[in-house]
Amino acid sequence: MRVMGFKKFISYLNLSESLKEIELNKILDKISKRIKLSSKEEEFLGKYDNISDDDLKDFRMLSIQSTFEKIKDLIDKNKKVICNLIDRDGRINTEIKSVYSDYENEKYTLILKHDERIELQDNYLYNIIYNIQKDNYSLESGEEFFEKIPVKNED
């Protein structure tokens, strides 16, 4: 049996490169093969010096308040965030235009395109995933959890 070296293992996981470097390498490969770049790839190259790795980061397992704050921060930075939560009709797949919070009642509302409103649920953890090809973020529901209610045993 042959054992793989650590550097080779890391190269398979791409842990040594950031998402920014991985995307740049894909574009450079296309250039070297004389393949025409898409408009998104040309835009990426134009913005390369102004993009940080934090701009391409995924955010996972966020609480309701952390999700609200992160979406607000992304929208304030003029980033496009798509609501890909699932309702009774399937994926919503609509851009989030703004967010609203009612801290007293612990309600967090997403205001979507066409003035639709979606309320975030407290019993979910949320993921905000960056899509390099579309240059936007996607809000998705992660794990649903339930808090245990303490019960007294009166035997």
Low-confidence stretches of the chain (pLDDT < 70) are: 1-19, 53-56, 146-151, 153-155
In the chain, % helix, strand, coil (3-state, to 5) comes to: 35, 30, 35
pLDDT at 132: 78
pLDDT at 146: 67
Tell if the pTM clears 0.85, that is, is over it: no
Structural domain including 62 reads 58-145
- The structure tokens listed for 12 are 């398979």
pLDDT at 88: 75
Q: Which of 102, 145, 95 has the alpha carbon at shortest distance from 116?
A: 95
Task: Identify whether 152 is part of a domain.
Answer: no
**Residues 125 and 93 placed together within one structural domain of the fold:** yes
**Residues 14 and 44 placed together within one structural domain of the fold:** yes
**Residues 19 and 62 placed together within one structural domain of the fold:** no
**Residues 41 and 89 placed together within one structural domain of the fold:** no
**Residues 78 and 136 placed together within one structural domain of the fold:** yes
- CA 129 vs CA 63, 71, 108, 132, 137: distances in Å: 15, 11, 19, 10, 5
First to last CA, the chain: 60
pLDDT at 70: 93
**Residues 50 and 64 placed together within one structural domain of the fold:** no
**Residues 48 and 71 placed together within one structural domain of the fold:** no
Task: Identify whether 155 is part of a domain.
Answer: no
pLDDT at 25: 87
